[in-house]
């Protein structure tokens, strides 16, 4: 690594090697080295795909756990059987309400 600073060491941080008396200096969140990072609101494709993947993974977990809990299973199945809604609106709602019902069933 040649005694130079390594940019991108961590979440928005810069790492100076310890042998040179350095430490991690934080500049903020992800991508904060960009001067306009706080003003950017654009959504890139990879973030969009990652968001969809997160929702589907969470739904799969909630669906799997809800099979063992009758009330949660009923909530998830009732939402998913609706005829007048698209899958885009049903999956997030079923995930959220199913997770709420799972928490209610687990918490005393």
- Quick: pLDDT tens for 44-77: 788 888 888 999 999 999 999 999 999 999 999 9
Residues above pLDDT 70, as percent of the chain: 60
The pLDDT score that the predictor gives to residue 24 is 53
| Gap between the Cα atoms of 6 and 33, Å rounded | 13
27 compared with 64, residue with greater pLDDT? 64
Beta bridge partners of 25: 14
| Gap between the Cα atoms of 76 and 10, Å rounded | 39
What is the rounded average pLDDT for all residues in the chain?
A: 76
Is residue 108 pLDDT above 60, yes or no? yes
SS3 4: coil
Q: Of 75, 56, 81, 72, nearest to 105 (Cα)?
A: 72
């Amino acid at each position: 690594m040649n005694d130079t600073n390594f940019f991108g060491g961590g979440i928005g941080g810069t790492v100076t090697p310890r042998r040179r008396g350095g430490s991690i200096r934080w500049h903020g969140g992800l991508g904060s080295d960009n001067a306009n990072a706080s003003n950017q609101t654009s959504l890139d494709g990879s973030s969009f795909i990652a968001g969809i993947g997160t929702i589907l993974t969470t739904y799969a977990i909630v669906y799997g756990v809800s099979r063992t809990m009758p009330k949660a299973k009923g909530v998830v199945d009732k939402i998913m059987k609706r005829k007048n809604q698209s899958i885009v609106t049903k999956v997030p709602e079923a995930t959220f309400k199913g997770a709420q019902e799972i928490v209610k069933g687990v918490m005393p």
